[in-house]
Structure 1
């Protein structure tokens, strides 16, 4: 057997993760990483909104605003982020640029702070937050969107190159 054929056979034998599995992992770790950075930002008072904001409409008790609530919020965001990654995959996977991810992050920020705000009574109106909170959360959402978007676009292009 020629060396080239042997190499080709070895490559085929290696099990590749499916694009769906990679999308799930990108979503989970994107949510985990950026919500942990969000918790860090909240802990050091860069922002008035921590990851536990996702618990505010549902969870009862004061524990949701403490350390345990923030950690549970990080987990909930990581799990919900899987759905966000699939949404990005469905909408923009073919665009291999940073800008769709940046725009996606801004869109998610607008949805959370403007559209969902009335449904989360504990969230204050956007105008009442400090400039630090607005800038920090917007930057976190932009970086989150960039992470999700560029990672998915990269994997999409890698999968297409492997097929050809």
Structure 2
């Protein structure tokens, strides 16, 4: 083979490799999809950590708390109820992440996430207390439950807040 034939053959092989599925790049995920994914993952992860804290008696609040307003049976107090509660908390966290995106996405700071987590905790333990029949008021809960729950809400707020702010900042930098 001559050099010209080798070059042509290499060019054709290169075109074939570009057509392979493994060489195709996927379009990037939209910021809306990223926010929803961050919210779901954050909700599932921190609810799972909350379930572990419940198992080890750091808190009296389990992830199945979200199921208690509904009369769905006694299974909601078992492990399956906690697993479904973890998944439902993940779905609710999508809404929370969208709220963060709408209100605080420009703040690339841990403090905004911490403040967001504290506001969420206040909302759940003061505003939503009447909705959940098994949730005692803040003053009736023991110190371990209060400290553990506020710490988990803060960590959730930092996770969601910093992740969303980081993604927003990266998108802004790419546009410029």
Q: Taking structure 2 as the reference length, what is the TM-score of the superposition?
A: 0.83
Output the TM-score relative to the length of structure 1: 0.89
Other structure's SS at 1:118 match: coil
The alignment status of 1:43 with 2:36, answered yes or no, reads no
Instruction: Determine the structure 2 residue equivalent to 1:153.
Output: 165
State the alpha-carbon separation in 2 of the partners of residues 14 and 73 from structure 1: 33
Q: Name structure 2 gaps, 5 residues minimum.
A: 1-24
**Aligned length in residues:** 152
Larger Rg: 2
1:54 paired with 2:58, answer no
Structure 2: how far apart are the matches of 1:72 and 1:110? Answer: 24
| Paired position in structure 2 for 1:72 | 84
- CA RMSD, aligned part only? 1.1
The aligned residue for residue 108 of structure 1 is 120
Moved over 3 A (4+): none
Gaps of 5+ in 1: 1-12
Q: Does 1:125 align with 2:120?
A: no
Deviations 1:32-87 (A, max 9, x none): 11000000100111100011111111143222122111111000000111111000
SS at match of 1:117: coil
Tell me which of 94, 102, 123 is aligned to 1:82. 94
Aligned: 1:33 with 2:45: yes
Candidates 142, 151, 162, aligned match of 2:154:
142
